[in-house]
Amino acid sequence: MTEEQEQKPAVEKNPHIYKPAYTKQEVDELTRWFEERMDRLPATLQLNEATAASDLPRTVKALLAVLKVHKENISVTFSGYMSHLDLIRLRLKEQGLE
Domain boundaries, the chain: 19-94
Question: Structure pTM?
Answer: 0.80
DSSP H helices in 1-98: 3-7, 24-35, 56-70, 79-94
Cβ neighbour number for residue 24 with a 10 Å cutoff: 11
Query: Are 15 and 87 contacting, i.e. CB atoms less than 8 angstroms apart?
Result: yes
pLDDT above 90 as % of the chain: 50
User: How far is Cα 24 from Cα 71, in angstroms, rounded to an integer?
Assistant: 6
Residue-wise pLDDT for 15-31, tens only, equals: 566 788 888 888 899 99
Residue-wise pLDDT for 59-88, tens only, equals: 999 999 998 888 777 778 888 899 899 999
Query: Are 79 and 20 contacting, i.e. CB atoms less than 8 angstroms apart?
Result: yes
